Amino acid sequence: NAGVTQTPKFQVLKTGQSMTLQCAQDMNHNSMYWYRQDPGMGLRLIYYSASEGTTDKGEVPNGYNVSRLNKREFSLRLESAAPSQTSVYFCASSEYYGGVGEKLFFGSGTQLSVL
Partner 1 sequence: AQTVTQSQPEMSVQEAETVTLSCTYDTSESDYYLFWYKQPPSRQMILVIRQEAYKQQNATENRFSVNFQKAAKSFSLKISDSQLGDAAMYFCAYRSTYQGGKLIFGQGTELSVKP
The residues binding partner 1 (CB under 8 A) are 31, 33, 35, 40-45, 48, 50, 58-59, 88, 90, 92, 94, 97-98, 100, 102-104, 106, 108-109
Minimum distance, C-beta of residue 93 to partner 1, in the bound complex (Å):
8
Minimum distance, C-beta of residue 4 to partner 1, in the bound complex (Å):
10
> Residue 91: is it exposed, middle or buried by C-beta count within 10 angstroms (0-12/13-18/19+)?
buried
Helix (H, G, I), strand (E, B) or coil at 81: coil
* 24 neighbors 73 (Cβ within 8 angstroms): yes
Minimum distance, C-beta of residue 71 to partner 1, in the bound complex (Å):
16
